[in-house]
Structure 1
Amino acid sequence: MKRTRPERRQGSAVVRGDFVPETTYDQRLLDRRGPADWLHMDPWRVLRIQAEFVEGFGQLAELPQAVTVFGSARTPAGTPEYELGVALGRKLSEAGYAVITGGGPGCMEAANKGTTEAGGVSVGLGIELPFEQSMNEYVDLGIEFRYFFVRKTMFVKYSCGFVTLPGGFGTLDELFEALTLVQTQKVTSFPVVLMGTEFWGGLVDWIKSTLEGTGKISPADLDLIHVTDDPDEAVRIITGADRSRSPQRENEKESVQGTVSDAQ
């Protein structure tokens, strides 16, 4: 009988058995309880955080234009939501985009699968969790992170848009963080697409009636959200924003070149 031992991924390492700690790096970073000397270790944590940023930047710097796909890890294979993720990954790949997911099962696996089957670049950005969640088999480039905020930076920095499949708390967290970054213009021309009109319909109605209806957001903020059931339409929204961003990039490039010429 095969002996099973607890296992956890920690960044680039895998630990098993007695080497598995009781808490994760994120938990220890955010926990202020305990002896005062625990807090004095935070400066050392900065070095580990820095290393994660350096590793992520180094691994992802050469990626082609990419789109991040979010969605539930609990979506079973073969369900309509899973197949929607497969179709989306395939369509994005055929349009020339790499696809980035959280690297786990469910909707993430579906998008990676569609990308791989279409011959595209399939990326997974995993995270250390108290429970094990392995990188799915369709990931070509997988990176494990200890800290959520480092991982989230990589999702945004190396994507030109987000597509969100049905999901739970984690998916909602990623969705609203993306919307906040766009609303506050921390990122520009960055489309956010919700796949699944029935699943997202209630949330969108609440945003319209309660948030916009009571002045918590402006009417223009509703335009930040695109809802569809059609993977082709999702790709059109991404590529449309990409084309509108291209002249801006060229203008910025010419402006920099002009400044350099003037300085010379």
Structure 2
Amino acid sequence: MTLRGSRMPVSTTDQRLLEGREPGGWVHSDPWRVMRIQAEFVEGFGGLAELGPAVSVFGSARTRAGHPTYELAESVGAALVEAGFAVITGGGPGAMEGANKGAAEAGGTSVGLGIELPMESGLNEFANLGINFRYFFVRKTMFVKYAEGFVVLPGGVGTLDELFEALTLIQTGKITNFPIVLMGTRFWAPLLDWLRDTLMVEGMLSPQDLDLLRVTDDVAEAVGWIVTAQAERRRVAGFSPGS
């Protein structure tokens, strides 16, 4: 359903789920929300079940066409398709649109996983397979479940959220280790310095945790890391090269 203007709700589905202002009110409403959450999982699993190898690409929604990050996203999307991957993004504008555009114009599967937000109005035009979600945690499951790796372009809070969630899941052994590639050495250098010089020095991060992140400006290098990791996983799992 698409709602615009005065028809836009004043709160999101996630907000209504997580608020608890009326004591006991959840008894009458939250159990029914479970059915909607279940339906979103079913729709997501059904829509992506036959996607094949894919990589999730994240980045700022605020980098418009012509911005260097948008153009980098296009190059990443095209290169991933040429390497045999579908491209998954959040389906929004900016870097997400750039990656979807690059993937679609390269003839590949360009996936957009949208989310209900007051400031966003649907999937970008370059997603040729799109699913809209109400719940962030359902959508996040899809980003991880169907990905062979993450490519993280310069971005803001949402991008950092996806980056650190993936890093946490790998660090804690909740998911199989896959590559997390940070594109843009200048952009990510201050964050990596802080992780190394503050968290690691304070004993809150181990060197092997930081080794889970790779940073580059080279699209071919980034895709190469993901291809190599995919081949190694298949080798360990006993897949033949052509499978």
Normalising by structure 2, report the TM-score.
Answer: 0.95
Identical aligned residues as a percent: 65
Mapped contact 1:71–1:164 kept (Cα < 8 A): yes
Who is 1:5 aligned against? none
Equivalenced residue count is: 239
Per mean C-alpha deviation after superposition, the further-off stretch among 38-47 and 67-76 is 38-47
Q: CA deviation at 1:187?
A: 1.4
- Residue of structure 1 aligned with 2:215, choices 207, 221, 227: 227
After TM superposition, the structure 1 = structure 2 runs for residues 157-196 of structure 1, keeping only pairs within 5 Å, are 157-196=145-184
1:72 counterpart letter in structure 2: S
Who is 2:230 aligned against? 242
Q: CA deviation at 1:188?
A: 1.8
SS at match of 1:194: strand
- Is 1:118 aligned with 2:109? no
After TM superposition, the structure 1 = structure 2 runs for residues 47-86 of structure 1, keeping only pairs within 5 Å, are 47-86=35-74
Per mean C-alpha deviation after superposition, the further-off stretch among 76-85 and 190-199 is 76-85
1:170 counterpart letter in structure 2: G
Distance of 1:141 and 1:154 partners within structure 2: 13
Distance of 2:6 and 2:61 partners within structure 1: 27
Distance of 1:159 and 1:45 partners within structure 2: 27
Normalising by structure 1, report the TM-score.
Answer: 0.87
- Is 1:91 aligned with 2:79? yes
Q: Which runs of 5+ in 1 are unaligned?
A: 1-12, 252-264
The superposition leaves residues 102-122 of structure 1 with CA deviations (integer Å, 9 ceiling, x where unpaired) of: 000000000011111111110
SS at match of 2:3: strand
Alpha-carbon RMSD = 1.3
Mapped contact 1:163–1:195 kept (Cα < 8 A): yes
SS at match of 2:122: coil
SS at match of 1:144: strand
2:36 counterpart letter in structure 1: R
The superposition leaves residues 22-80 of structure 1 with CA deviations (integer Å, 9 ceiling, x where unpaired) of: 21100000001135334431100000000000000000000020000000000021111
Q: CA deviation at 1:242?
A: 0.5
Mapped contact 1:68–1:155 kept (Cα < 8 A): yes
Q: Which runs of 5+ in 2 are unaligned?
A: none
Per mean C-alpha deviation after superposition, the further-off stretch among 74-83 and 139-148 is 74-83
2:165 counterpart letter in structure 1: E
Q: Quick check: which has more Rg, 1 or 2?
A: 1
After TM superposition, the structure 1 = structure 2 runs for residues 3-152 of structure 1, keeping only pairs within 5 Å, are 13-16=1-4, 19-34=7-22, 36-152=24-140
SS at match of 1:68: strand
Q: CA deviation at 1:17?
A: 5.2
Distance of 1:37 and 1:223 partners within structure 2: 46
